[in-house]
Amino acid sequence: MHLLLLGATGLVGSHVLELALADPRITAVTAPTRRALAEHPRLTAPKIDFDNLPQDAEIWKADAVICALGTTLKVAGSRERFHRIDHDYTVEIARLAKAGGGRTFVLNSAKGADVKSLFFYSRVKGETEKDVVALGFERTVLVRPGLIDGPRTEPRPAEQMFGTLLRRLKPVLPRSLQANRPETIARVMLEQAFSAVPGVTVVTSDALV
């Protein structure tokens, strides 16, 4: 399988990349990024400008796509920029991948994703899911983690505090309220990329514990 991976430098995406490169079922990985990745014989990692996505079909040709691209409102700096990155980049890449013959799209979305949500973040995630599904891949998998709890290089104090709290409460919390580890999300997304079940599949946070 030829895998197209977006967000390969991120917390979840870097685990997907590691697992994919170690998986004998995967013959090639294309991971467009804005930062360099370590070289690997089965990895092609073109540095691209995400505001001007190359229309060159070769980059987007793959059997399956895993997308773990996204930012935070704080890093984005405005709602418009957040929407541009989390929604527009994702949907435009999905369109290019579909045109390139991609059959499966696995999207790292978020718990609570809903076009009608009261929360801007969840609305954008819901809109992204809806617009990716509308592209009509043979298989679309919407993976909806809760808080992603793992070591980050940049400080995210609120997430880190919440992560510590959820870890302490883990023995008494139902699975649906527990935090999700990036390596678990990555493993589930990669397995979903191989599944042959047609249509739309939703993976909720309790399946990512």
Q: Cα separation of 85 and 6, whole Å?
A: 12
Cα–Cα nearest to 124, from 93, 78, 55, 171: 78
Which of 1, 2, 9, 23 is in the footprint of ligand NAP by CB under 6 A?
Answer: 9
Burial 164-187 (b: 16+ CB within 10 A, else e): eebeeeeeeeeeebbbbbbbbbbe
**Residue 82: partners with Cβ closer than 8 Å, 6 or more residues away:** 71, 72, 73, 76, 120, 121, 124
Q: Stretches 6-14, 98-106, 169-177, 194-202: which one binds ligand NAP (CB under 6 A)?
A: 6-14
- Length reported for the chain: 209
Q: Which stretch binds ligand NAP (CB under 6 A): 3-11, 96-104, 129-137, 170-178?
A: 3-11
Q: How is residue 52 written in tokens?
A: 């001007």
Cβ of residue 37: shortest distance to ligand NAP, in angstroms? 10
Dihedral angle sign, alpha carbons of residues 59, 63, 68, 70: positive
Among 5, 31, 147, 189, binds ligand NAP (CB under 6 A): 147
62 binds ligand NAP (CB under 6 A): no
Which residue in the set 3, 29, 85, 106 belongs to the binding site for ligand NAP (CB under 6 A)?
85
d(CA 111, CA 126): 10
Residue number with CB closer to ligand NAP (136 or 151): 151
Cβ–Cβ < 8 Å for 146, 180 = yes
Pick from 12, 66, 97, 208 the residue near ligand NAP by CB under 6 A: 12
Gap between the Cα atoms of 89 and 47, Å rounded: 15
Q: Which stretch binds ligand NAP (CB under 6 A): 5-13, 21-29, 130-138, 168-176?
A: 5-13
126 lies in the binding site for ligand NAP (CB under 6 A) = no
- Please pick, from the candidates 22, 24, 34, 157, the single residue that binds ligand NAP as defined by CB under 6 A: 34
Residues that bind ligand NAP (CB under 6 A): 7-13, 34-35, 50, 68-71, 85, 108, 110, 145, 147-148, 159, 182
